[in-house]
Amino acid sequence: MGMQKRLKIIAAALAVALAGALTACYTPGGDQGAATTLSAGQQGTAPPVTGSDGTSQPGATLDAGMSEYDLSQPQNAAYKASYDAFMAIGDDAPDQIQMHDNIYIEEKDASIYLLDKSTGSETLLLAGINTDDEDYTAYLIFTRIDDSRFVYFYQTQETQQGWGVYDVSAMKDSPALGDPARSPAKYQNNRVYSLAVGIGAPFNMAVTDIGSMQTTQIFDSLITNDNDKVQYFAYSPDGQSVAILTYQSLSHYKIYYCSLNSYSLIRSYTLVVSYCDPEFIEFHGNGTLYIYTAQHDAYDEYMYTINLS
């Protein structure tokens, strides 16, 4: 549930103004802290990193446009604040969403209800099974579409997932067809983008027109490496692009920057790093990507940025 709920939240803390020169960073092709831009296809290697236990790891290999930041350095406090704020975001999406006037939908006891706050009456819309055994099924609200429709998703104890559109005016459920192991990732312009669920799942993204509920696979011809396991993905604020962070092999990660207009690959980036684990990716505006990592015990916290221009 965490991945879907997290995607519903606008990470306002990521809007930290990063003014001034931040010098404790490495940018390919330049000295420590230099903002040197490489030609397309060029790579650079950051200086070796030594942990608190005295062990050393080779520096990260970065593609053009990428920079590494050591978050223990005081001059990188703004990046550190952004990193901490992102990591603190939890499953805090609201349990109730207003449809119109006094009419709300709410999550309760693994089910979704229609609530009339003027009378206090509740109507069951989608019935879950709130137990601790293998029959457990939970329905959760993903997003409101308009005054009468909303997108929901469900999950089971066996980690099967799926989603659909519910129309409260017609009391009609329209489940998305196809592979049930898929959850909604974003709603935009009458379309729902969905992805095969779970960290480590093979790349598998689709778009569904909610008028016809017809689903089309997208990007499958662009990312064909079976070793690509999705870590996280993010959508640009303008809704024109998506960035997908994947894990390929030990210490090797790939970032795919794709257009949501043509469903084509704009650019891909490679990151090789052994002293932290890239886990999350987010847009900072439309022109920069932030990559947040899990810290290794003996090493400082690190994060990476990609200049998309």
CATH code for the domain of 137: 2.130.10.120
Dihedral sign for Cα 243, 245, 248, 253, please: positive
Please write the tens of the pLDDT for every residue from 114-165: 999 999 999 999 999 887 777 788 999 999 999 999 999 998 876 668 899 9
> Looking at the structure, do residues 62 and 206 belong to the same domain, yes or no?
no
Co-location of 154 and 12 in the same domain: no
Q: Please tell me the total count of domains within the chain.
A: 2
pLDDT of residue 12 exceeding 50, the answer is no
171 and 113 share one domain:
yes
256: closest CA among 226, 246, 247, 272? 246
Last residue within a domain, chosen from 171, 189, 218: 218
- Evaluate if residue 11 carries a pLDDT over 70: no
Tell how far CA 145 is from the center of its chain: 20
From 218, 244, 278, give the residue that closes a domain. Answer: 218
Asked if residue 239 and residue 206 are part of one domain, the reply reads no
Question: What does pTM read for this prediction?
Answer: 0.75
Same domain, 8 and 84: yes
Given a cut of 60, whether residue 13 has pLDDT beyond it is no
Of 218, 247, 262, the one marking the end of a domain is 218
4 and 55 co-located in one domain = yes
Q: Over the chain, what is the mean pLDDT?
A: 81
| Distance set, CA 96 to CA 59, 139, 144, 156, 186 (Å) | 47, 13, 11, 21, 19
pLDDT grade for 204, boundaries at 50, 70 and 90:
confident
Residues 130, 191 within the same domain: yes
Which of 232, 239, 241 shows the shortest CA–CA distance to 265?
241
* Residue 171 confidence (pLDDT) above 70: yes
What is residue 304's predicted lDDT score, i.e. its pLDDT?
Answer: 94
Asked if residue 99 and residue 66 are part of one domain, the reply reads no
In which domain, by residue range, is 174 found? 94-218
Query: Residues 153, 253: one domain?
Result: no
Confidence of residue 27 (pLDDT cuts 50, 70, 90): low
Are residues 72 and 107 located together in one domain of the fold?
A: no
Are both 47 and 161 inside the same structural domain? Answer: no
